[in-house]
Structure 1
Amino acid sequence: MSSIVSASLPRRAVLAGLSSLGALALAGCATTASPPPVVPAGPVRHAVPPDVLAMYAARPEEDYPVPAADIAMIDPLYWRQEIDNPTGQAAGSVVVDTTSFFLYWTMPNGRAMRYGVGLGRAGFEWSGEGHIAYKRKWPVWTPPREMVDRQPELEIYRNGQPPGLLNALGARALYIHQGNRDTLYRVHGTMDVATIGKAVSSGCVRLLFQDVMDLYERVPSGSPILVI
């Protein structure tokens, strides 16, 4: 019960008061007293199996030591897992399903590795076919000129944001090109677990650090990417 009862009241009076309130509630009666405050529910936390905890454990060996991801905050649907390939694409392809917030790396024998992702908010989405032109570990992030113009606070990074945990691209980045043209969209890392399964970024495909590091090791430069 959220009401605070004064310690100075006799115990019998307190119990009688509680009993009366219970009777009123059961009878559906209205009273002139103010209703108790509604306490917002806390974020849902999921039980995490040991094998999943291991996948998202800290990575102290990295150039910038990566903390463990609070994977309990994410719907288990978005935890990394190997599944039957649902994409219809041949092995060796990156497929981003924007309706389900999944990225797939297609593998031999009809299998795929599936990752939960965060995507671009309305007005910044990108879709189409391209390829992963190249990849970078702990990349420098240089915001597009148009982004700096929209967000003047990014002026300090006009010539590049140094690598590190707080870098906008995170621990790894895969650069999407169409032909010889840089689309300016990336598959990259984030430590913000709250963005997975949501459309919040400025167009890029975001994976947790542990997931983008796993993907980085699987995907060769030149691999096709399909964003649908």
Structure 2
Amino acid sequence: MTIDAEKEPLLSRVAGADAPQMSRRLFVLAAPVILTGCVTTAEGIGAYGGVSDGRVTLPAMDTSGVNPRFLRQTVAYSGREAAGTIVVRPSERHLYFVTGRGTAIRYGVGVGRQGALWHGRAAVGRKASWPNWTPTANMIRNDPRNARYAGGMAGGIANPLGARALYLYRGSRDTMYRLHGTNEPRSIGLAVSSGCIRLFNHDIIDLHNRARIGTPVVVLPG
């Protein structure tokens, strides 16, 4: 069964939350990222092997059918964002973690479908490993089968949020948007979500390890 992992987009309403202390500084939306197109390091198949991750074993991912441009790799980067910034370009289906020195780690992503695209500035306010997933009321109305998870679905390989989730906040308020893994790796490169940004499980683990509470996130217009 296919389950839509993300929260319903809340463009004008955000829910209050007890978020960890984080930077409240707003980051100016930069001009579109300019890339040279030169790949300096291709992580390739070696980045997607089997992983023993606490109580869960993440199996190796078959990359043979994946467009190489959606595999994690280090690329030349000439945007103006500071090192440590996450930049999402929905039109490219790419997320960049800026490393500085003219480079960034680039990941393939799945993005919000038409009508569910969100853009703006936020920061990582919370991080979770193998997070629980709870469908919203709208998700249950749209697919009554989701009612079985009204009390929450435990984290694991079958969970729609995947191996990790980074929760996007503005100040102390949860925007209800996330960067997270997926139980549907074939959705990477597509516009299918309810607004959140999804990555391969191996990639969200890598990004989770790099990002910190307060890491700035810029999502450019789709």
Q: Structure 1-normalised TM-score?
A: 0.74
Does residue 136 of the first structure (1) align with residue 128 of the second (2)? yes
Q: How does 1:150-161 map to 2 (within 5 A)?
A: 150-161=142-153
- Deviation of 1:185 after TM superposition, in Å, equals 1.2
Secondary structure in 2 matching 1:146: helix
Partner Cα distance (2:91, 2:53) in 1: 35
The residue number in structure 1 matching 2:105 is 113
Structure 2 residue aligned with 1:80, among 58, 72, 80? 72
Distance 2:99 2:147 in 1: 41
Question: Which string of whole-angstrom CA distances, capped at 9 and with x for unpartnered residues, describes residues 75-133 of structure 1?
Answer: 11111111122432111111100010000001122221000001111122211111110
1:61 to partner: Cα distance: 4.2
Q: Which residue is equivalent to 1:104? A: 96
Cα shift at 1:179: 2.3
Instruction: State yes or no: 1:56 paired with 2:48.
Output: yes
CA 1:143 to 1:90, structure 2 compared with 1: closer, same or farther past 3 Å? Answer: same
In structure 2, the residue matched to 1:203 is: 195
Higher relative contact order (CA 8 A, sep 6+): 2
Structure 1 equivalent of residue 181 of structure 2? 189
* Superposed structure 1 runs of 4+ greater than 3 Å apart: none
SS of 1:129's equivalent in the other structure is strand
Whole-Å Cα distance in 1 between the matches of residues 94 and 102 of structure 2? 17
**Relative to structure 1, is the Cα distance of residues 104 and 151 closer, same or farther in structure 2, using a 3 angstrom cutoff?**
same
Q: Distance in 2 between matches of 1:72 and 1:190?
A: 18
Instruction: Output the CA distance in 2 between the equivalents of 1:132 and 1:51.
Output: 25
In structure 2, distance between residues paired with 1:216 and 1:170: 12
Alpha-carbon distance in 2 for matches of 1:152, 1:86: 47
RMSD, aligned CA: 1.6
Q: Does 1:170 align with 2:141?
A: no
Larger helix fraction of residues? 1
Distance 2:55 2:78 in 1: 35
Number of paired residues? 179
5+ residue gaps, structure 1, are 1-49
Structure (1 or 2) with the greater strand fraction: 2
Q: Does 1:124 align with 2:119?
A: no
TM-score w.r.t. the length of structure 2 is 0.76
Equivalent residue letter for 1:167: N
Q: Do the aligned partners of 1:69 and 1:191 also contact (CA within 8 Å) in 2?
A: no
Q: Which whole-Å CA distance do the structure 2 matches of 1:61 and 1:195 have between them? A: 23
2:177 maps to a residue whose letter is Y
Report if aligned partners of 2:121, 2:218 keep a CA contact under 8 Å in 1: yes
